[in-house]
Homo-oligomer: A and B are copies of this chain.
Amino acid sequence: MKNVIVAQSGGPTAAINASLAGVIRGAAESGKIDRIYGAVYGITGVIDEKLVELGSRFPAESEAWKRLYGTPSSYLGSCRFRMPSPEEDPSVYEKVFAVLEKYETEAFFYIGGNDSMDTIAKLAAYGKEKGSSIRFAGVPKTIDNDLVHIDHTPGYGSAAKYIAATMLEIAHDTYVYRKPCVTIVEIMGRNAGWLTAAAALARNEYNDAPQLIYLPEVPFSGTKFLEDLKKQLEKKHNIVVAVSEGIRDEKGNYITSSDAVNDLFSHAQLSGVGKTLEQLVKKELGVKCRSVELNILQRCAAHISSAADLRESEQLGRAAVGYVLEGNTGFMSALERVSDAPYEISFNMAELSEIANLEKSIPADWISPEGNDVGEKLMAYMRPLIEGEVPVAFRNGLPEYESIGHLTGL
């Protein structure tokens, strides 16, 4: 028997099941794999031997497979588990390899972000040292788009499309009143501004919202922010601001809420940037102001996924299987940009060692000189990633997704 095991880790996205569908399809179509198992709850599902057979449940291109492809959140569940080093805890490695061997595993695929790539790197290194023939591949995933060695990450395009579409609709909503009003939209992104930058894609012939964009890559100054706003309010009634949850001041402190709110939380809380700025605007400018936090909808709104994103997510899952069957191990399937317009990418394998420890920020020359907007290079980079719509089946007025939660027993 030659089997494979696949698992998902980290936060759920609209595209992570497309990558799972890609691994399943790649393994099935190779003709070289007998069984495709899914580990439930990430690597902990391997340790606990919580495995389900996926190949017969999702024959490639079947209705169930297509539904899985477009279903938000991790079908196999997830975990937040930091893999110890073999020196720290060899028993974890022994357990994982024992289960992999018991299931006659040819290869293990881990779909996830930085931490998951760290896990894959460690397992691959351990296997190599022990002379194991089991191969290990990472399949990238994170809406944050902050992985290095890959042009952009699966999940980012769909989140960007949701953010841009929502920003356009919020802009519509702001246009109706005569009274000056500032709308602050708080967008995910702790250290990198890729998601917040996507709000700029909402601009078109009639809409120039968001007029201001604040990214974590640029130190944030409240004084400068109020000046920026005042200038904008001289030009028009309704101003929309896109702001990253992760903006920090010159000293590197998060712009979280006022002292009163800080008292409520024991540690720096990555929410409330929108509310904080809302209070600042009301107090200092005396203008009507409201804040909107896009929250977890950014990662789970599969009813408006990017077709480009889901297509590439599936391809990256499939590519990982192909690379493994060619004899590779200890890599992450990745993609490179060949050109922006026409949009063209190529697939390759990325070195794992740096992925877990580095985060990719927006390059300084992709941000406007004033630091309150995106530049054209960034726009050209983002545009193709939200292209295309994924057909969503509706039943009883709602999207019809693959049933989820029964594996995870919820």
Please tell me if A78 contacts chain B, counting CB pairs below 8 Å.
Answer: yes
Known: A166-B301, A201-B398, A405-B207. A295 touches B292 (CB 8 A): yes
Contact stretch, chosen from A59-67, A96-104, A117-125, A174-182: A174-182
Please tell me if A49 contacts chain B, counting CB pairs below 8 Å.
Answer: no
A297 touches B292 (CB 8 A): yes
Who on chain B is nearest to A237 by CB? B410
Who on chain B is nearest to A294 by CB? B297
Q: How far is the CB of A190 from chain B (nearest CB, A)?
A: 16
Please tell me if A37 contacts chain B, counting CB pairs below 8 Å.
Answer: no
A303 touches B169 (CB 8 A): yes
A77: which B residues are within 8 A, CB to CB?
A: 175-178
A295: which B residues are within 8 A, CB to CB?
A: 292-293
Chain A residues numbered 137-185 whose CB sits less than 8 Å from any CB in chain B: 161, 164-166, 168-178
- The one of B201, B292, B300, B408 in contact with A296, judged by C-beta atoms closer than 8 angstroms, is B292
| A376-410 near B? 1/0 per residue, CB < 8 Å | 00000001001111000010111101011110101
Please tell me if A284 contacts chain B, counting CB pairs below 8 Å.
Answer: no
A297 touches B169 (CB 8 A): yes
Chain A residues numbered 273-309 whose CB sits less than 8 Å from any CB in chain B: 279, 290, 292-293, 295-297, 299-304, 306
Contact stretch, chosen from A217-225, A260-268, A356-364: A260-268
A172 touches B397 (CB 8 A): no
Contact stretch, chosen from A26-34, A68-76, A243-251, A346-354: A68-76
Who on chain B is nearest to A262 by CB? B260
Residues of A whose CB lies within 8 Å of any CB of B are: 12, 41, 44, 71-74, 77-80, 161, 164-166, 168-178, 201-202, 204-207, 236-238, 258, 260-261, 263-264, 279, 290, 292-293, 295-297, 299-304, 306, 383, 386-389, 394, 396-399, 401, 403-406, 408, 410
Please name 13 further chain A to chain B contacts, defined as beta carbons within 8 Å, in addition to the given A12-B173, A44-B178, sorted by A numbering: A73-B169, A161-B398, A169-B300, A173-B300, A175-B404, A201-B396, A204-B396, A204-B398, A206-B403, A206-B404, A260-B263, A292-B297, A389-B394
